[in-house]
Chain A
Amino acid sequence: MNNTIVAFVLGVPFVLLFGFYMLAVYLSNHHRRWPLYRSVLWTAGVSFSILSVAGPIAERAHTDFTAHMLGHLFLGMLAPLLMALAAPMSLLLRTLPVKGARRLTRLLRSKPVGVLSNPVTATILNIGGLWLLYTTDLYMMMHHSIILHVFIHIHVFLAGYLFTISMIYIDPIPHRFSYRYRAIVLVIALAGHGILSKFIYANPPSGVPADQAQAGSRLMYYGGDMIDVVIIFLLFLYWYQAARPRKRAAQVT
């Protein structure tokens, strides 16, 4: 398989995403300054994505399962979290002309987007996709087909991003679900991730030597935990802010 083509096809969209974001910051900065830390988060997120699809980690991932897992942690969890925190939808809405922004809002309010951004849908796409990849022959097939390889990597990133924004609301999201609902789905999703890690430890995917599977699954288990902690923390932080006690009208007499 031609690794250079794969790296190029997967890497270029992220370079473009970086360019679009910076262009939008430049265009919309006339009225109100876009916070610098958001641009920094976007840059970091894009960098981790590129690191996982092109360069030494991506190169080693073809033969080394641990490197593959590190790349997937970056592409499917860390980069989506950093990029979600950069609030790209808010930036887009304030950059677009009013008419375009209205059209985008209408799209966000539509039913399909509501179904897609439901935490359960996002979890099935994200964690379900991982189960499919590592417990079937898909993982081995991925190494023999460029199209499959590209498709799976795009899926990992998009599903990871969708999962992140379905749990923590940084950008405007019209279809909102309660903290309790999101928290329950989040715990189930995290459990699904942890259980899969241990499953891989005991049952290496076809074509992966046992020692690599063990090292890779540990990385998946503990690396996943580190990012999950941040998502849980943010979910509770927003709950904490939203649940701020307010003076009741009855008390003001």
Chain B
Amino acid sequence: MANGARNSYYSRNLWSGFLFGLGLVVFFDESVFHQLLNWHHFYDKSTTEIGIVSDGFFHAFSWFATIGGLFMYADLRRRQALWKTRWWGGVLLGMGAFQLYDGTVQHKLMQLHQIRYNVDILPYDLVWNITAILMVITGSIILLKTRRQAGTGGVTNPLSNE
């Protein structure tokens, strides 16, 4: 039955969602805030070096995560092991986790760039980070619930060659 398959691909459902969520939020950030609204800056003069490095790695990883997450989704489907609820939990956790990292560490600590310029930044930062925390909480609740349903979680390697 499908239930058995989805339990043995329990972790891959989470990872696929998590990677896709992370990639999605970086893509959203890039297209909406950088390109369409032009709020974010490509390079901010106050950016620290570590900020550029961190941004570089996340940017590279986001492409990888989006595409990889979707291929893993397709893989779960053909194995009839897709567990949509758990997958969505992963998506929310991935989105929230990155947005929180971006909003706190990258924007504030590393001064990568701010959400918007020449405005009072506090309401923007609050909306940004509270949304992120809400996504993390919702995602975590879904993941905990599905974990209880599955019983003990099997450990599967998301990128194994088999």
Question: Which A residues fall within an 8 A CB radius of B?
Answer: 178-180, 183, 186-188, 190-195, 198-199, 201-202, 218, 221, 225, 228-229, 232-233, 236-237, 239-240, 242-245
Q: Which of B45, B53, B57, B78 is A187 in contact with, Cβ under 8 Å?
A: B57
Interface bits B34-62 vs A (CB < 8 Å: 1, else 0): 00000000110101000011011101110
Shortest beta-carbon distance from A252 to chain B in Å: 18
Complex CA gap A98/B124 in Å reads: 68
Complex CA gap A222/B40 in Å reads: 16
**Could you name 18 residue pairs across A and B whose Cβ atoms are closer than 8 Å?**
A179-B159, A183-B64, A183-B68, A190-B60, A194-B59, A195-B52, A195-B53, A198-B43, A202-B45, A202-B47, A218-B42, A228-B63, A232-B67, A236-B67, A239-B161, A240-B74, A240-B75, A245-B79
* A198 and B52 contacting across the interface, CB-CB below 8 Å: yes
Complex CA gap A221/B52 in Å reads: 13
**With contacts A180-B159, A243-B162 known, is A191 near B59, CB below 8 A?**
yes
* B56 and A195 contacting across the interface, CB-CB below 8 Å: yes
* B78 and A232 contacting across the interface, CB-CB below 8 Å: no
Q: Which residues of B contact A245 (CB under 8 A)?
A: 78-79
Q: How many A-B pairs fall under 8 Å by CB? A: 77
Question: Which B residues fall within an 8 A CB radius of A?
Answer: 42-43, 45, 47, 52-53, 55-57, 59-61, 63-64, 67-68, 71, 74-75, 78-79, 159-162
Q: Which of B42, B63, B67, B75 is A243 in contact with, Cβ under 8 Å?
A: B75
Complex CA gap A224/B155 in Å reads: 36
Assuming A180-B160, A191-B56, A198-B55, what are 20 further A-B pairs, CB within 8 angstroms?
A: A178-B161, A186-B64, A190-B59, A190-B63, A190-B64, A192-B56, A194-B56, A195-B53, A195-B56, A199-B52, A201-B42, A201-B43, A202-B43, A221-B42, A229-B63, A232-B67, A232-B68, A240-B71, A243-B160, A243-B161
Complex CA gap A155/B47 in Å reads: 32
Complex CA gap A219/B47 in Å reads: 20
Q: Which of B53, B56, B74, B159 is A183 in contact with, Cβ under 8 Å?
A: B159
Q: Kindly name the residue among B45, B61, B63, B74 whose own CB sees the greatest number of chain A CB atoms within 10 A.
A: B63
Shortest beta-carbon distance from B5 to chain A in Å: 10
Complex CA gap A236/B67 in Å reads: 8
Complex CA gap A73/B111 in Å reads: 30
Shortest beta-carbon distance from B32 to chain A in Å: 16
Interface of B, secondary structure class, is helix
Complex CA gap A198/B48 in Å reads: 12
Q: Which residues of A contact B60 (CB under 8 A)?
A: 187-188, 190-191, 193-194, 228
Complex CA gap A229/B62 in Å reads: 10
Q: Which residues of B contact A198 (CB under 8 A)?
A: 42-43, 52, 55-56
Q: Which residues of B contact A237 (CB under 8 A)?
A: 71
Shortest beta-carbon distance from A219 to chain B in Å: 12
Complex CA gap A151/B17 in Å reads: 46
Q: Specify the chain A residue showing the minimal Cβ separation from B35.
A: A222
Shortest beta-carbon distance from A208 to chain B in Å: 16
* B67 and A187 contacting across the interface, CB-CB below 8 Å: no
* B71 and A239 contacting across the interface, CB-CB below 8 Å: yes
Q: Which residues of B contact A244 (CB under 8 A)?
A: 78
Complex CA gap A190/B60 in Å reads: 5
Q: Which residues of A contact B68 (CB under 8 A)?
A: 183, 232, 236
